[in-house]
Amino acid sequence: MKPDPEDLYRRMARARFCEEALADLWERGLISGEMHLVVEEAVAAGVVAHLVEGDAMALDHRSTPPLVARGIDLLPLFLEMLGHEDGLCGGRGGHMHLFCRELLSASSGIVGSSAPLGAGFAVAAQYLKAGRVAVSFFGEGAFNQGMLLETLNLAAAWRLPLVLVCKDNRWAITTRSRSVTGGNLLRRARSFGIPARRVDGTRVDKVWEAAAWAVGRARAGRGPSFILASCPRMEGHFLGDPLLRVFREPLRQTMEIGPPLMRALLSKPVSAAAHRLPRLGAIGRTLTVLGAERCLLKKDPLRRSASLLGEEARRRIEEEARREVQEAVERALWEAGRGGPHA
Amino acid sequence: MPEMTFAQAIDFALGMAMERDERVITFGEDVTMLRRELFVRFGPKRVRQAPISEAAFLAAGVGAAMAGLRPVVEIMMVDFIAVAFDALLNQATKIRAFSGGKWNVPLVVRASCGGGYGDAGQHEQCLWGLLSGMPGIAVVVPSNPADAAGLMLSAVESEDPVVFLEHKLLSDYWLDYLGAGGRSTVCFDVPAAGARGEVPSPPLPVPIGKARKARDGGDISILSLGVSLHRCLEAADILEDNGIKADVVDLRSACPLDRELILSSAARAGRVLVVDEDYLGYGLSGEVAAVLAEAGIKADFARVGPWEVIPYARRLEDEVLPDVRRIREAALRLCGHDA
């Protein structure tokens, strides 16, 4: 079996353009609350390309790309983001709580909860429709949640048709995952008896191959598999992440963060200030690493995947996807009565 | 008295407690960034970064408290405490009773709570009713900087588990972090008197379980806490136009309740309105009604608050969380006026 580059690229382009549109709507204040965007299209597309009707997805708080890559209707999706009553969830769920019964897909804002939910979907698949599978998406930060570790054991013990996809962006909110994680995640999964593979999450063809293996195992009744996909984070934990603002508006942020820190450094007893300097350094280092990791964005998964197909095909697919997303956004804004060409 | 924000007041008090007592430590997700000033002052042994493992680190807080420390464990949002509920429900709150009073758990659980910025019901709950249902716990919900500092001091000094809830509309960094994200295109109804104010230096401890009369008037007793308290004060001002003088009581602690002040305010007015941002079903407002009934106080009773899951859309959220209009209407009805 070989991947279809045009199909994969179409899924990725739709997901990317949707996220760009969401960022714009969020900046304009039309979307409320936290907004977590990702550069995870390659992982989403490479995995969901293997799913068929009746397969289930358990998603985390970054749930838009897998849904879009799977082909969800864009209009109800955007209406939901705008809090419209005709939205996917009647305007009541929003971007962290997207539910699509037709696609057996559910998301959650509680870190780690997508793993046991996926296990439940897999139990139902095992019982009701042999050959169907479930996929759980989660981040490496979630991999330290008890319920996730329990799910690994449950999935192995019950030989569930479950594909566990860990998107490793190296950051647990504003904490470097390495600093709060023991051991190695691949070995962690294997220690539960679950076969595991590492893959470059910015390479859709590589993700597709790993997912072919994992989904194939699940369909054949051979039990769960684990995929560890590395994918650098572009926008902080969420848009407007204060850590990233240090780079966007260095002066303002330094003025806000700096003086209280200096006071803390010099607060009584002053003699202790020497011990405190390295601690200030630790905060600085976190910011520096974050800044350095932003440079990894040169590994933009969409651009990397473009090389898999010809220039003409790439342009055609991008144009189609862009038009589809733009039309859905305009239509949604019009229906929400917030302007647009039809208003 | 120095003026400070609600958030600064909490960390001011926590810093004071850490300075006075070396046994006070704090840990949780992201704390070296969230509490970076305390981190610089007290270092990684006392301000400790945790993985996203609430079940483990909250239960570890219980153990640390039992073994001689006074941990302030941060659960980023109170909603996430569900993941770690065993540590509170079956461990921390049981140990004093099970040990025959011989072993106590001086643990503070600090968490942000509350809504009003469109994050929906997995991130905007209050849950103080649910938490207060456990015997052996105290739950405090300050509505202004001075109380925030005072209650944090008392929480750290308590010999038993205390949940300290910090409303996100009052704590500017949480609201900016989660609601605004640096945008100027969104706005929030932040009660100014709650978000910023004078704080005694050093802060004065506010006794846990002690309410405060925020406004005096004998026609109706309005009981509330947190952000809703400010909505009640605003409504009370408007009610003056209808010739209604309202008592407004800031409960400050959801548990234990200040029965004395509740009963005296209710008995004088004969009309009680509880305004609660937490779920109305099986919660604080019902508990207040039980307190009144058990004391034999006959009062007309009403409540304003959410019965349902908090929706995402700001417009729908406004219809669910207590607001001035619905508080005023409920008060008018209780006082026999047409709302």
The mean per-residue pLDDT over the stretch B146-161 comes to: 98
Confidence tier at A343 by pLDDT (50, 70, 90):
very low
Say what the ipTM of the complex is: 0.88
pLDDT digits (tens, 9 = 90+) for B256-291: 999 999 999 999 999 999 999 999 999 999 999 999
Domain range summary for chain A, segments of one domain joined by +: 5-237+310-335, 242-295
Confidence tier at B175 by pLDDT (50, 70, 90):
very high
User: Tokens 């191959």 sit at which residue?
Assistant: A209
Mutate: best of B10, B20, B40, B124, partner A, most A CBs <10 A: B40
The 8 Å CB, 24+ separation contacts for A203-206 are: A203/A42, A203/A301, A203/A304, A203/A305, A204/A3, A204/A8, A204/A9, A204/A12, A204/A41, A204/A42, A204/A45, A204/A46, A204/A301, A204/A304, A204/A305, A204/A308, A205/A3, A205/A5, A205/A8, A205/A46, A205/A305, A205/A308, A206/A46
The reported pLDDT for the residue numbered A294 is 61
CATH architecture of B212-334: 3-Layer(aba) Sandwich (3.40)
Test A109 with B123 for CB contact under 8 angstroms: yes
**Rounded to whole angstroms, how far apart are CA atoms A137 and A91?**
24
Q: Find the closest chain A residue to B8 by CA distance.
A: A260
The mean per-residue pLDDT over the stretch B60-82 comes to: 97
Domain range summary for chain B, segments of one domain joined by +: 3-198, 212-334
Nearest to B320 by CA among B310, B335, B331, B333: B310
Test B44 with A282 for CB contact under 8 angstroms: yes
User: Which of A83, A112, A173 lies nearest to residue B30, judging by beta carbons?
Assistant: A173
Nearest to A78 by CA among A319, A341, A336, A343: A336
In A139-178, the residues whose Cβ lies within 8 Å of chain B are 141-142, 144-147, 172-175, 177
Distance from CA of A7 to the nearest CA of B (A): 33
**Rounded to whole angstroms, how far apart are CA atoms A317 and A301?**
16
For chain A, say whether B119 makes contact (Cβ under 8 Å).
yes
For chain B, say whether A271 makes contact (Cβ under 8 Å).
no
Other Cβ atoms within 10 Å of B323 Cβ, number: 18
* CA dist list (Å): A303 to A46, A311, A321: 15, 12, 15
CB burial string A37-64: b at 16+ within 10 A, e below: bbbbbbbbbbbbbbbeeebbbbbbbbbb
Output the average pLDDT for chain B. Answer: 96
For chain A, say whether B44 makes contact (Cβ under 8 Å).
yes
pLDDT digits (tens, 9 = 90+) for A281-304: 888 877 777 766 665 556 788 888
Test B40 with A280 for CB contact under 8 angstroms: yes
CATH architecture of B3-198: 3-Layer(aba) Sandwich (3.40)
pLDDT above 90: residue A272: no
pLDDT above 90: residue A315: yes
Alpha helices in chain A (DSSP H): 5-27, 41-48, 64-70, 74-81, 114-128, 146-157, 185-190, 204-219, 242-248, 250-266, 273-294, 301-306, 311-335
Test A267 with B41 for CB contact under 8 angstroms: yes
Output the average pLDDT for chain A. Answer: 90
**Rounded to whole angstroms, how far apart are CA atoms A74 and A326?**
10
The mean per-residue pLDDT over the stretch A315-327 comes to: 97
Is the Cβ–Cβ distance between B273 and B242 less than 8 Å? no
What's the CATH class of domain A5-237+310-335? alpha beta
Test A109 with B122 for CB contact under 8 angstroms: yes
pLDDT digits (tens, 9 = 90+) for B89-124: 999 999 999 999 999 999 999 999 999 999 999 999
Is the omega angle on the peptide bond into residue B202 within 30 degrees of 0, that is, cis? yes
Is B123 a residue of the active site?
yes
Element holding B314 (H helix, E strand): helix B314-320
* CA dist list (Å): A205 to A32, A44, A66, A230, B110: 35, 12, 16, 14, 45
Test B52 with A173 for CB contact under 8 angstroms: yes
Distance from CA of A109 to the nearest CA of B (A): 7
pLDDT digits (tens, 9 = 90+) for B291-339: 999 999 999 999 999 999 999 999 999 999 999 999 999 999 999 998 7
Residue A263, both tokens? 């006071």
User: Tokens 């790439």 sit at which residue?
Assistant: A314
Q: What are A58's strand-pairing partners?
A: A106, A136
Distance from CA of B135 to the nearest CA of A (A): 26
pLDDT digits (tens, 9 = 90+) for A165-220: 999 988 888 888 999 999 999 999 999 999 999 999 999 999 999 999 999 999 99
